[in-house]
Structure 1
């Protein structure tokens, strides 16, 4: 086999099995020609399965009562507790009145990242009170007002 024929075979321009037979080299009996997969898929395209049924999945969302968690962190180290409650799917209200300005910014940044990562929402309820609601929870404006008043007057 010449170098030109080898190169043409490598590039797929010439079938190497045909070259082997032409040159007199016998092809082994264990070598099988490749099946044409595209022909097989075309043949199956016209096949219809009789008696098959298609199940339709219907989403039934049970009414779930969520526990709204109210936190009044005093330092950034309490961010983990807030994250754990939120990750469990509970709405979290954080009152940042007792925090220093620098730690308050860090906690709001953490909460924003947490909400973004879990596809939820963060909303300012009042000046230093935020509501973190998971993606599967809808909060009406009445609920936000009630939550803000509850967290503001709860000084425990």
Structure 2
């Protein structure tokens, strides 16, 4: 057995002729046929797209507008929401709902100012630092 390996190596390196007839096989060989399918449809991607990202700006006045805002997030569009003019309970309810939706789409939420937030899906990266003025204050006007 060791001699066969050496003969194969010599043949591979071109030092000796290899004779397959000398090998004696004790076990039968099973041959598996591999079926390959070739898809002739070619996909073309244009890397020079001029598509612009659309940012949605929303100022909800009732809770029922939340699913429309979430639809924009699901369609991978960032949304800026203004909750400044709402009463505190409704603003908190809307914020909690949208915060859950942002988590579900693996997105980000960033406070812009008191009551104004940007909600971004995972394809949008939000960068920047919020000023010290807003860091020590609560998210909503009722928080201090």
- Structure 1 residues 3-152: aligned runs within 5 Å: 64-141=51-128
Q: CA deviation at 1:125?
A: 0.6
Alignment partners' CA distance in 1, 2:52 and 2:124: 10
Shift of 1:140: 3.6
Secondary structure, aligned partner of 1:124: strand
Q: CA RMSD in A?
A: 3.2
- What count of residue pairs does the alignment treat as equivalent? 94
Unpaired runs of at least 5, structure 2? 1-31, 33-45, 131-144
3-state DSSP of counterpart to 2:106: coil
Alignment gaps of 5+ in structure 1: 1-43, 45-59, 145-156
TM-superposition CA deviations, 1:78-109 (whole Å, max 9, x none): 11111111111100000001211111111111
Deviates more, 1:75-84 or 1:122-131: 75-84
Q: Which runs of 4+ in 1 moved over 6 A?
A: none
The structure in which a higher percent of residues are helix is: 1
Residue pair 2:107, 2:120 contacting (<8 A) in 1 also: yes
Q: Secondary structure at the match of 1:85?
A: helix
Contact 1:73–1:98 (CA under 8 A) maintained in structure 2: no
Distance 1:108 1:131 in 2: 11
Q: Is the 8 A contact 2:73 2:105 kept in 1?
A: no
User: Compared with structure 1, are the counterparts of its residues 104 and 140 closer, same or farther at alpha carbon in structure 2 (3 Å cutoff)?
Assistant: same
